Amino acid sequence: MPGRFCAQPDGQGAPAVLYEKRDNIAWVTLNRPERLNAYNVEMRDELFEILSAIYDDPEVRAMVLAGAGSSFSTGGDVTEFGQAPSPTAARWIRFRRDVWGRLRNLPVPTIAAAHGFTVGGGMEMVLLCDVAVAATDTRFCLPETGLGMIPGVAGTQTAARRLPFGWALDLCITGRWLDARQALALGLVAQVVTPDALNRTAHRWAVRLSRLPREHVAIAKLAVWEGLNGTLAAGLELERRLANRIALMRISQPGGS
């Protein structure tokens, strides 16, 4: 799908994340194919800036998150592990820019287009998107616990909310591999297609979802995510308040009733 990428590198070489607006759809492409799109500080910073631009751009009505090269993403770049001057500095760098919170809270539908290795933080990025489409060659895994860590890109929380609880626990602890068909059966992805059809399929999803009112999408996402943080009664009360907000928005619009 041809188009011009808007992002420009700050230094030498290509940018770590490519960003393009195709009409009212934002295409965000992880762009370290030589490292299987493992994310480093540069990629994290660029991704935060791009997601923030999408958040603030009322023209954007949907977003596709994809990966360049042979894989979607293999998670954190292990060559950067331990390079921070101290654990305190590492935490400050991480929380200064809440990339993953920004991705989850985007007020537009988000579609992940996964292919190849979608591992660790790569799988967790898919879990943070609203809808995922996978190529038949996609392989999912959360290996962090076996490496002396835990899934740290919200994986322990999103897996338990997006997947059957037993499977979420299994995947977070065992590092079990899933192929695309298993991911479809579990509800991790909504559709499996051939690799050459992946971008076209993700684009069709984005076009269809982009027709929804941006404000209504944002409120629906808020209701679903925040409703999981309390009791059913609290969730129903939240739903009622948000439904009333939409009703008032419609009344205040010209021609509303």
The DSSP-derived string for 227-248 is HTTS-HHHHHHHHHHHHHHHHH
Handedness of CA 44, 209, 201, 185 (dihedral sign): positive
Token digits of residue 229: 């943080």
Note the pLDDT of residue 256: 58
Residue count of the chain: 257
The number of beta carbons lying within 10 Å of the beta carbon of residue 58 is: 10
Amino acid making up residue 61: R
Mean pLDDT by 10 residues, the chain (257 residues): 42 85 95 96 96 97 98 90 48 67 96 98 97 98 93 93 95 97 98 98 97 94 93 95 89 66
Note the pLDDT of residue 251: 80
Give the catalytic positions in this structure: 124, 144
Note the pLDDT of residue 33: 97
Give the pairing type, strands 17-22 and 25-30. Answer: antiparallel
**CA-closest candidate to residue 94, choices 106, 84, 108:** 84
The separation between CA 232 and the C-alpha centre of its own chain, rounded to angstroms, equals 26
What is the Cα–Cα distance from 116 to 67, expressed in whole angstroms?
A: 9
Which CATH number is associated with domain 17-210? 3.90.226.10
